A and B are shown apart, each in its own frame.
Chain A
Amino acid sequence: MSLRAALAEGRFVVTAEIGPPRGANAEAIRRAARALRGWVDAANVTDNQGAMVRLASWAGSLITLQEGVEPVMQLVCRDRNRMALQSDLLGAAALGIPNVLLLTGDHPRFGDHPEARGVFDLDSIQLVWLARTMRDEGRLLSGLQLKPPPQWLIGAVENPFAPPARFRAERLGKKVAAGAEFVQTQFVFDVATFATWMKNVRDLGLEKRCAILAGVGPIRSVRALERMSDIPGIVIPQEVRRRLRGVPSDRFLDESIKICAEIIMEIREIPGVAGVHVMAFGLEEAVGEIVERAGLGKRPQAVAP
């Protein structure tokens, strides 16, 4: 069953993430996709994540599709002007990629090419708006007609934890107004703050117009914990740190998976949440365990392999 159909049905959905490798390596993506198959409704394929050059997200999405996992192709404004964005979106539709996730992208400063020009011709909200225009009006930004127009489910991202806290639900409102049909959030470790944001989202009635998928994920190691703490926009409360630091290093991952599953169970109780987005880079095998421990179980098969 497709992500679109699962959301329409109101089933609590699970998405995950595949980070394409640095190298001309299709096998790494196949392996990750196979580990996720059956456990997720769809898997994001990231686009030069963290401003580091990787295999293209459209190619990774195609490989993922071949492995019987429905892809969500990520596309960032950092590396393309409005022309390249539109042609990549059309290419994705022609390849049968059913979902796109449109975002601004990390600044090149933090990546492996800090000397690169960041394009930022459009911002994420304008790109969502453009995708909807291409699909629903069948037109490019130039006004020229598309025959036939593309069809994808349009996704976006939001960070409920970054200041200004009071504007974060309203910013999601802008994305919904622009055409976002689902949104995946930054990592939720602080469930209370997430619940407050969800309340603001419900007050604006946004959860009825856009499926909210809460971002979650295990932390692989002490080093990963330190690295994640340095990433702007990710908030890891003291309580989570204490629990992770309180276990011997060989049990760190296990504890982390347990915390992740607990967070999913708490999130499920919050009204208006349509699913979870499990970000487990290089830990694709763990996604099944997390889903299982959270009591969500296997998914109805999405695409025949």
Chain B
Amino acid sequence: MDGFRVKTISRSEGEPSPYGDAPRPTPPRISLRNALFLQRLLRPNRLRAAFASWLEATPVAYRLFAFVEERIKRHIFGCRMCAQCALPATAYACPESCPKELRNGPCGGVREDGGCEVYPELRCVWLIAYERAEREGRVADLRRLQRPIDQRKWGRSSWVNYWLGRDEGLWTQSDGLGTREALR
């Protein structure tokens, strides 16, 4: 048919634009130990929950807060604002920076040299997560099953969600091999 473009496929054509929002494996700029220290410092409490509620009730403040959060977390983790932060259970390497957005561990395409299947020059973010977890004795975190995320929440503040206790069911309590845990 005339209207169709006949194209030859080359692999280089497949390279996604580095300027778009396509996820790219991102090594975190903070050590796991420091991240865990900050985690303890920022853990939910009554004051933070009240602050989060106030933010939600004040759109201008919320937008400003989310803007600052995005800047900080994008710089450190390559955060894309899924708003359901898996970092505490992934050795603080962001699974949403995986090109397949895998939340439960590395795919089978990790290259022998540790390169990402999609971006061979970048190290697989799950390999980074595993190495960080292993160094700090936290591999058990990676065994937890991560539940499907709510795709409506993109762009919202995950700190607000975290302080309001909405992240509690994101992953299972155990590795799920002993006792089955529900998907929902």
Contacts and interface: CB of A to CB of B under 8 A. Distances in A.
Which residue, B13, B100, B130, B175, has most C-beta atoms of chain A within 10 A? B100
A129 B180 CA distance: 10
A235 to B, nearest CB: 7
Nearest to B103: A123
A122 to B, nearest CB: 5
Given A107-B99, A118-B100, A159-B108, A178 B145 contact: yes
Nearest to B101: A120
Nearest to A77: B100
B112 interface: yes
B177 A176 contact: yes
Interface residues of B, number: 46
Contacts of A233: 108-111, 117
Given A123-B103, A174-B145, A109 B14 contact: yes
B168 interface: no
A149 B145 CA distance: 24
Contact of A177 (B102, B117, B118, B175): B175
Contact of A186 (B103, B108, B112, B115): B108
A164 B106 contact: yes
Interface string A162-174: 1110110011011
Contacts of A173: 143, 175, 177
Contacts of A118: 99-100
Nearest to A132: B183
Interface stretch (B56-64, B68-76, B146-154): B146-154
A129 B183 contact: yes
B109 A164 contact: no
A235 B176 contact: no
A170 B142 contact: yes
A278 B184 CA distance: 36
Interface string A226-269: 00000011010000000000000000000000000000000000
B9 A114 contact: yes
Interface in A86-133: 104, 106-110, 112, 114, 118, 120-126, 129-130, 132-133
B105 interface: yes
A179 B13 CA distance: 38
A139 B14 CA distance: 38
A82 B148 contact: yes
A143 interface: yes
Interface residues of A, number: 46
Contacts of B15: 109
Interface string B82-122: 00000000000000000111111111111110110110100
B184 A141 contact: yes
A157 B108 contact: yes
B105 A167 contact: yes
- Mostly, the B contact residues are loop
B160 interface: no
A183 to B, nearest CB: 11
A261 B45 CA distance: 62
Contacts of B143: 170, 173-174
A181 interface: no
Contacts of A174: 104-105, 143, 145, 175-176
Contacts of A104: 100, 102, 107
Nearest to B119: A109
A125 B106 contact: no
A163 B124 contact: yes
Given A162-B109, A177-B177, A233-B108, A123 B14 contact: no
A232 B184 contact: no
Contacts of B99: 107, 109, 118
B147 A126 contact: yes
A133 B180 CA distance: 11
Given A130-B183, A233-B117, A170 B139 contact: yes
A70 interface: no
B46 interface: no
Given A141-B183, A170-B142, A233-B117, A125 B105 contact: yes
Contacts of B9: 112, 114
B111 to A, nearest CB: 5
Given A106-B109, A126-B104, 16 more contacts: A104-B100, A107-B100, A121-B151, A124-B104, A125-B104, A126-B145, A133-B184, A139-B184, A141-B148, A143-B184, A164-B106, A170-B143, A174-B104, A174-B105, A176-B177, A177-B180
